[in-house]
Structure 1
Amino acid sequence: MKGVQGVKGVKDVLVVLFDDVQSLDVTGPVEVFTGATYAAAASGGASGSPGYRVRTASLDGAPVRTSSGLTVVPDRSLAGGPTPHTLLVPGGHGPRSTDAGLVDAVRELAPRARRLVSVCSGALLLAEAGLLDGRRATTHWMFCEKLARDHPEVRVEADRIFVRDGHVATSAGVTAGIDLALALVEEDLGRDIALTVARHLVVFLRRPGNQAQFSAQLAAQTAQREPLREVQQWITEHPASDLSVEALAARARLSPRHFARAFQTETGVTPGRYVERVRLEHARRLLEDAAGGVEEVSRSCGYGTPEAMRRAFLKHLGTSPAEYRHRFRTTTPARC
């Protein structure tokens, strides 16, 4: 942005470009950082920082063609220009094949950056450069197995939308890059600026990094028959309701036995398992974002009692609801 050229305290963000890069991996975070800079200016300095100066760079400074066919002209080559505060490596076909020249350039530049970020399969490039050795990391679910297999020194956390480990942050596929960028903005400029950007982009302020890449709905298959799809949606929207097989079968206008068999056949999970996933996911979100007590959360999620919710958390997450909330609220890193 022209308005922050030469401004003291601005954080330089350099986005790596290459042929077949995923365009949304680039534009999603760029829109977040740029929007945050506008919001910081509009706040009259309330954020304490002027925001970001976003630049793009390809290996040789030449234009690149994204996987969707768009041509992007970078600002510079990776070898030129000042060292960025944040170096961001998006995903795409390039990092999957790990071009040697690109890997070498990122390996050389990364140690001088204050923060290293990847989106989607960009983590594969960072791993190839040895920049994730001994660190926790994630990537798009399609590449988690490859990352773990090819780079056993990386501690892959497949069921996360983003992972922070020191100054290195990796995120899952596509829109998770927006979630991570919003988390970085909140860390750098405060919650109000991040909220302004999220509202402008019409996205959640923050899906926490420890949220699963798949929601309960995505983890299961979508039923083929409309009555069963409607039941799936009803479960998601009414976790505190009576979600017994008998009650759900009545909504689908099927006998309980027929409903249970059809639901499992079409979604891949039993009705009880699906309800369990939805309630757990809903409880996690409330514990992360709401101020209500554990007893209130347990009632609003359909557990009935705090003890029932506690057993579910211990079974699936290995921790109690109270400890889960404590861990979530004490893992926000210090500002860079």
Structure 2
Amino acid sequence: MRPVTTLLLTSLALSACADNAATLAPQSNNDIRASEITDGLHHPWSLAFVSDSEWLVTERRGTLRRIVDGDLQDNAVTGVPQVVASGQGGLMDMAPHPDFADNQRLYLSYAKPCGDGGGTTAVGYGIYKDGALSAFQDVYVAEASCTNTAKHFGGRILFDNEGFLFLTIGDRGQRDRAQDTSDPAGSVVRLHDDGRIPEDNPLAGQQGKAGEIWSWGHRNPQGLALHPQTGKPWLNEHGPRGGDEINAPEPGINYGWPVITYGREYYGPSIGDTEKKGYAQPLLHWTPSIAPSGMAFVTSNRYPDWQGDIVNGALKLTHLNKVSFDGKTATREVRLLQDRGERIRDVRQGPDGYLYLLTDSSNGKLLRLAPAE
């Protein structure tokens, strides 16, 4: 195992109102140790724990890496599908099947080659064992979302407690597609583990509709986590210049992009209204943007004061973002790790109860957070 380095961190507390994120003076210091487990990861995207001793990390360029007993292995996992590693596309998220211990199915989301040099969001699985992925097969390919743009693939995947598979798909940089329910771009989709469309999906069986869609009007969701009490998915998503959001996507609900948004065009003017009848408001928005990616609910007793809080990676503002909620009302925001200045791509709670983070760079790191002694 590589030598462990630690850094003492402090927090900055902010208010988290749904219609305005006003800054507050720092309220408290939360002393946290960030220990480096390994570096040497090339733009890592997702972390999964396939056993207590073996962890896997996706790299956006299309490689799947093993960490065994804390050591990064030299050889990448074989059998990974070909990806479009361009712009924001590549090998993205990863999720072991709920029955992984029995069936060894490892699900991957990725930018799949399509059309004339284009790419689209896809998810599939292979059988994982001892550093090899075999018999990989797609279960869902967003065929209608094929485009040559290299933006906004979404790509987060999640199994809920009933075994349904959720996948986020971005608007592919073509914003109006998020309002077109014949097209899965800009949506959350819900599937059976073999890719079949559940009959109780809100648009299932409707002529001219993409029956896999669960909710729509999303720009580019890159964080997805299961609420520990309700068992429902929550997500974070990128806005443009401002207007990043946290939402709890409900079936058949339109979350507004680009008709309503708290974000603005990168060159200045507003894009749409901030609210309008028929479109759901976010539970929280960040303006200016933090560029959220990766999300986890804290349930571990390793962090007794954080129970039920959401932790989000922040790429643009380079910190770990922690938000407290009372039901669906955001009550407090804390920003951690700001002194490190690192883009945080993924956040996971490990089998040992600690939080683990991936930093996004050509020499990315895996970090473990622990309360200071």
Question: Scaled by the length of structure 2, what TM-score is found?
Answer: 0.26
More strand by share: 2
Higher-RCO chain (CA-CA 8 Å, sequence separation at least 6): 2
Question: Scaled by the length of structure 1, what TM-score is found?
Answer: 0.29
Higher Rg of the two aligned structures: 1
More helix by share: 1
